Structure 1
Amino acid sequence: MEETPKTALAHFLLFTFLLSPIAANASDITQQLHRPLSSANWQQSRDDADSLLRIGEQQYRSGNANKTINSCLQALEIYHSIGDFRAKGLTYELLAKAYIQQEKFKEGEDALRRRLAIARDTKDFQAQIFALNNIAAILLQQGETVAAGRTVQEALTIAQGVKNIEGQGLSLSNLGLVTARLGDYNKAIKLYETALTYRRQKGDATGEANTLNNLGEAYLAAGNYQDTIGTYGAAMRMAKMNSDRTNQLRAIDGLVKAHSSVGRTERAFELLQQRLIIAQELQNLPEQLKSFESYAQLYEQLGNYTTARNFYERAIAIANTLEYTKQELVLKDRLTKLQNKRN
């Protein structure tokens, strides 16, 4: 949803903060949940819960948050009954991401704090680092910038204490987000550059692309379009090479904004076409919605109201299918204003 620059930035930061650094695939989850079986009944219950969690991950990747939540809640019930705290922690992590996708931030924060509590009980320092970073994302989205900064700093302190390179890179990158929100873009840029050294040291291609996207956002906010385009371009190429669709789409979004800002609309449309193709290949309706909305906004800026209307209508149809009520209302309001421009 991009009704105002401030709202757009909040939404943008949230998904960058929450999803990119810790996304796990189904095979990762299966490996992390493995432990010796104590009985045939325990094994069957465990298999059922693991299956629900794998399905939930697939549902989340397809943009179906409602089904993800249902799968996670069923899995949690089973993991609780067999006393598997580690698996519960991983399930709360996925549940939080699904709630955030639905903009249910209170529920998302609750799931993340439960994840953090389990990580502390099990002395899982890496999980603590990730959970704290994600909680900070919620705080930042809610405008609690100072509290978000404290939370990220706690994560960074833990990461430094246990010499966790990945955690240091993630926390420094997110500390840059907090600093950028406070308007100190030069300091944010320095934090991102430091974060990049850790992410490259770790060989974390996804993390590096994420931080490059953060850096591109800072350059864009500072009005440095040349470095904005170069940095987002590097992020897009790295993400594409590693099949990292999340960061690839985000880099495209940044490039569209940058090129549009300097009147390079032809390049912006080329990038939007790439974006829509990726979203359709993924069969990800939320990303298709974003693509149609971006098309509509760009055509509206150019004064091509007929084509803009067509794309707004397509975006509204998807928002209705996804039951994104708030976004559907915003899009309908924009369409009404657009029709008034034509009259």
Structure 2
Amino acid sequence: MDNQFSSKGGEQNVGQGDHAIGKQVNNYGIPPEVFAEYAGKLAVTDSALASFFKILEEQQVPPGDLDAKLREIAANYKELLARVGGNQAAKQAIERGDYAKAEKLLDDVANQHSLAAAGAYADNARLQRIQLRYAKAAVYWQKAAALLPDDKKKERALYLHKAAFDLDRIAKYKEALPLYEQSLSLCRETGDKAGEGTTLNNISQIYDARGDYPTALKYLEQSLVIRQEIGDKEGEGVTLNNISQIYHDRGDYATALKYLEQSLHISQEIGDRAVEGTTLNNFGLIYQTRGDYGPALKYLEQSLVIHREVGNQTMEGTTLSNIGALHHAKGDYPTALSYLEQSFIISQEIGNKAGEGTTLNNISQIYDARGDYATALKYLEQNLVLFREIGAKREEAGTSWNIGLNYAEHGDLSKAEQYISRAVQLMEALAHPKLEECRKRLEAVRAKLKAR
């Protein structure tokens, strides 16, 4: 099963042949000899690679992500080819890059009988993953799960988990949570301890995104016990990292560092670069919060290198945003904006609403520091809509607070009171570490209003 680990700032019908190859080479600046090298390195045909480049173009993948995304697409492509080997027509359509035809052929199989249909729908989910269409992949995983008979509960749990994970990776938390919960119930029923540990971990991250830290911590502690019990070192490192983030959000940096150190040790011991990159990012955030910018930047830059290496675009965008915020704190606004703009583009391209919102907030703070309050407010209002849409209560609280401060600085105390009051209300529910500071500011605003 997939692992989801968190970090705070604050995963068609195409052309082929020489013409298609030439077009992609021109778009990405890839000369023919490098194209041939990629085909060999990925162990795919030239026509398959040409179709991959077409997907990258359609999804507007930035050149800096070229290598990582090609690896992701090639891995999903080869897995799917291995699965559909008996369906020669579908296999040939995939091999020549005619993904729309392949989807139709697999749907035809899905109209026959339940087991074959479930497998065909699962293969169509993989086909959508090849094309980076995660929301559509989730639909196919659910169709596959619904057709499995009662003696295939373990497989049903896996398909539901994959559907939830594909929605989770694009911040569709409301849709993802019930699917995770169904998967968890089936894992427990079938005695799948590895699946249970992973799903508990992933559910925790949805509650964490909502700012419900006690519930998130409860799920993480259950996950940690199971992963240690079955010797899942990779999963243990992920969960330790996520526990550290709960303590970070609560302002308990010493405890957060303790868990991060354990996570980093495990990820380096087993060579898990993805978790190592996330853990380094989170070290950077703690040092940044403490105002120790030198070590913070060192950790964040190490993290960025790893995320690009392993092709984790979500975390690449997050780390770019965090580096931007650090340069903002140092007063280097042009450099900060450069990193934030890179982060925003990535978040938009992969549909990461949470990352998009965090970056909008950080961009707004640059304009606020420059005295351009109208532009800052515009970004904050866009940001607030995004966080409300995905149910991210902690981020909604921070954005409401920032909007309230913006209005207070311009003398609009009525609107300032409205937004700061909402921020305080959310922070009370979250046991936010800055709650008392916000309460005092709210009292001051209300006192000024009363004195008018």
TM normalised by structure 1 equals: 0.72
Q: For structure 1, which segment, 243-252 or 71-80, has the greater mean C-alpha deviation from structure 2 after superposition?
A: 71-80
2:412 is matched with 304
**2:197 equivalent to 1:89:** yes
Between Structure 1 and Structure 2, whose CA radius of gyration is higher? 2
The structure 2 residue matched to 1:187, chosen from 284, 289, 295, is 295
Where 1:174 maps in the other structure, the secondary structure is helix
State how far apart, in whole Å, the 1-side matches of 2:308 and 2:317 are: 10
Amino acid of the structure 1 residue aligned with 2:448: K
Residues of 2 paired with 1:190 and 1:277: CA distance? 33
Distance in 1 of aligned mates of 2:245 and 2:392: 24
User: Shift of the alpha carbon at 1:274?
Assistant: 3.1
Q: Does 1:338 align with 2:445?
A: yes
- Tell me the TM-score normalized by structure 2: 0.57
1:149-183 C-alpha deviation (Å, 9 max, x unpaired)? 23222222222223222122112111212322343
Match of 1:16 among 8, 14, 28: 8
Question: Which residue of the partner structure matches residue 206 of structure 1?
Answer: 314
Q: Give per-residue Cα distances to partners, 1:132-157, cap 9 Å, x unaligned.
A: 21011123234442332232222222
1:267 to partner: Cα distance: 2.0
Q: Percent identity?
A: 19
- Residue in 2 aligned with 1:43? 152
Shift, 1:250, TM fit: 0.6
Show CA shifts across 1:66-121 (max 9, x none): x94x8766654442221011221232123322443454434422321322233334
CA gap of 1:308–1:212, structure 2 versus 1, over 3 A, is: same
Aligned-partner Cα distance in 2 for 1:235–1:219: 14
Cα shift at 1:310: 5.4
Specify the alignment match of 2:32 in structure 1. none
Who is 1:230 aligned against? 338
- 1:62-101 aligned at under 5 Å gives the runs 68=177, 75-101=183-209
Give the Cα–Cα distance (whole angstroms) in 1 for the partners of residues 363 and 165 of structure 2.
32
Contact kept in structure 1, 2:367 and 2:375, CA below 8 Å:
yes
Whole-Å Cα distance in 2 between the matches of residues 168 and 46 of structure 1?
A: 30
- Name structure 1 gaps, 5 residues minimum: 1-13, 19-24
Q: Give the secondary structure class of the aligned counterpart of 2:8.
A: helix
Tell me the residue number matched to 1:176: 284
Residue 328 of structure 2 is aligned to residue 220 of structure 1: yes
**CA shift for structure 1 position 263:** 0.7
- Cα distance in 2 for partners of 1:48, 1:164 equals 25
Residues 1:277 and 1:185: Cα distance change in structure 2 (over 3 Å): same
Tell me what 1:110 maps to: 218
Show the counterpart of 2:359. Answer: 251
Q: Over aligned residue pairs, what C-alpha RMSD do you find?
A: 4.3
Seen in structure 2, the aligned counterparts of structure 1 residues 179 and 239 have a Cα distance that, compared at 3 Å, is: same
Deviations 1:31-81 (A, max 9, x none): 7xx99xxx953435864896599579969956659x94x876665444222
Q: 1:284 to 1:62 in 2, by over 3 A?
A: farther
C-alpha distance in 1 between matches for 2:399 and 2:288: 26
Partner residue in 2 for 1:21: none
SS at match of 1:234: helix
Q: Does the 8 A contact of 2:8 with 2:318 survive in 1?
A: yes
How many equivalent pairs are there? 313
User: 2:383 is matched with which residue?
Assistant: 275
CA contact (8 A) 1:196 1:211 kept: yes
Helix, strand or coil at the partner of 1:208? helix
Shift of 1:299: 1.3
CA contact (8 A) 2:260 2:279 kept: yes
- Letter of the 1:204 partner, please give it: N
2:371 maps to: 263
* 8 A Cα contact 2:241 2:263, kept in partner: yes
Question: Secondary structure in 1 aligned to 2:271?
Answer: coil
| TM-aligned CA distance change 1:275 to 1:167, over 3 Å | same
How far apart, CA to CA, are the structure 1 residues paired with 2:159 and 2:9?
26
Cα distance change, pair 218–126 in 1 and its aligned pair in 2 (3 A): same
Mapped partners of 2:299, 2:390: distance in 1: 36
CA contact (8 A) 1:63 1:285 kept: no
Q: CA deviation at 1:244?
A: 1.8
Moved more, 256-265 or 214-223: 214-223
